[in-house]
Amino acid sequence: MFAAENGLKGDPRLQGISQAIRVVPHFPKPGIMFQDITTLLLDHKAFKDTVDIFVDRYRGMNISVVAGVEARGFMFGPSIALSIGAKFVPLRKPRKLPGEVISEAYDLEYGTDCLEMQIDAVKTGERALVIDDLVATGGTLSAAIGLLERMGAEVVECACVVGLREVKGQRRLDGKPLYILVEPRQLDECF
Ligand SMILES: O=P(O)(O)OC[C@H]1O[C@H](OP(=O)(O)OP(=O)(O)O)[C@H](O)[C@@H]1O
Ligand SMILES: Nc1ncnc2[nH]cnc12
């Protein structure tokens, strides 16, 4: 679901956030219109508005875990976690986390990748939010949901700054609500 259709219709912050994202054609490979959120991080108002919108939505929902996806979920997740009184759990690419981990492989456009989570990071019954910068195919978020559910956590919602109107033809992801602030810019050429 898009923020503009869920309480933030006409909110000028959404347009500011969209405009702060730089589109880089043909990065990292030909044909990709890369949605570069580093320019949003350079824009104090747009960065703060992004975090504030998520904090306003998730405060008071009894969420104790904010799980951020490497690498760009790490740029938004900790601020949200601190503000809503949750812990931050990094979901990392393989062989980055010490100790005992669980892994979930997922499909990319070409090939596969994997996310890992430390087994002592989350307890059964905890309520979790998954945060990333962008959802395209949804494969990465599905892996994140899988990790949390295997540890007995309840995934309340997945949240992204940028996303397609439909992921895998659905507005939900593995049955979980998906909350997106803005659509990709120059959508037709993006994905
Ligand atoms: O919905 P999907 O098709 O799974 O794609 C979305 C993922 O792709 C990007 O990460 P990337 O895999 O490029 O990793 P990086 O941020 O570590 O470079 C993005 O930050 C998401 O995590
Ligand atoms: N177009 C895109 N821009 C930024 N990150 C992405 N991850 C997958 N597709 C992407």
Ligand nearest to the CA of 189: 2
Q: Of 154, 151, 190, 189, which Cα lies nearest the Cα of 174?
A: 154
Residues 88/77, Cβ–Cβ less than 8 Å: yes
Q: What end-to-end distance do the CA atoms of the chain give, in Å? A: 19
Whether ipTM tops 0.90, in short, is yes
* Model-wide pTM > 0.80: yes
Q: Measured from the CB, is residue 121 less than 6 Å from ligand 2?
A: no
Q: Of 25, 48, 65, which Cα lies nearest the Cα of 152?
A: 65
CA distance 180 to 157: 11
Per-residue b or e along 79-92, where b marks 16 or more CB atoms closer than 10 Å to that residue's CB: bbbebbebbbbbbb
Domain layout of the chain by residue ranges: 7-184
Q: Measured from the CB, is residue 116 less than 6 Å from ligand 1?
A: no
Q: Measured from the CB, is residue 162 less than 6 Å from ligand 2?
A: no
Span 51-95, pLDDT tens digits: 999 999 999 999 999 999 999 999 999 999 999 999 999 999 999
Under CATH, which number does the domain 7-184 receive? 3.40.50.2020
Which residue lies with its CA nearest to atom 1 of ligand 2? 34
Ligand 1 centroid – CA 140 distance (Å): 7
